[in-house]
Amino acid sequence: MSSVVVVLLLFAGLSESAGRILPLIARRPGASRSTAILLLLTGAVVEGAVFALWPLTARTLAELVRSAPVTDGATPVWTAGLAAPLLLAAVLAFPLLGPLLHLLLFIGVGAGLAGPLAATTGLNWWAAAGCVAVAGAGLGVAVEAVRRLVAQISAIGVKEPLA
């Protein structure tokens, strides 16, 4: 993975994290600026890592579908052309700025990943697209579960002010 792709994935993760975390920080009046920045940067790294794992997870699912490992060892990887729309999709993840467009862009990025996955695994395009979709949905559900768990744990430590 080139450094340009890594930077694009980190910016996409930062944007996705900002779209998810800033509304939470805005609703919490006692949140400090340093906590907000720490949460934002941690979320950026996590979201960027999830984006980076998407092709690898899809490849693993494709091998399970084929019931035999692919012998060439080539894994579809992110390119700048595939990661740039992902960055745009992350920018649109801000609340109320277009969840439908955000979803459509993710579908487009997934379709872009399906072609290289089909070529490297020998699956047809539809099966590869299914593997990409299941991998993306699975990673998304896993991150959302962790996000909710962290929110519940952090809510336990917040005490309501006595009036």
Query: Hey, how many other C-beta atoms are within 10 angstroms of the C-beta on 56?
Result: 13
Q: What is the pLDDT of residues 115-136, one digit of tens each?
A: 888 888 888 999 999 999 999 8
The answer on pLDDT for 98 being more than 60 is no
pTM: 0.74
**Mean residue pLDDT across the chain:** 76
For the chain, the domains span 3-157
Q: What is the pLDDT of residues 25-65, one digit of tens each?
A: 777 777 677 877 888 888 888 888 888 888 888 888 888 88
Give the DSSP letter string of 19-84: HHHHHHHHH-TT--HHHHHHHHHHHHHHHHHHHHHHHHHHHHHHHHHHTS--SS-------HHHHH
How far is 80 from 83, CA to CA, in rounded Å?
A: 5
What confidence score (pLDDT) does residue 96 get? 47
What confidence score (pLDDT) does residue 150 get? 76
| Residues constituting the chain | 163
Contact (CB, 8 A) for 93 and 51 = no
How far is 143 from 72, CA to CA, in rounded Å?
A: 31
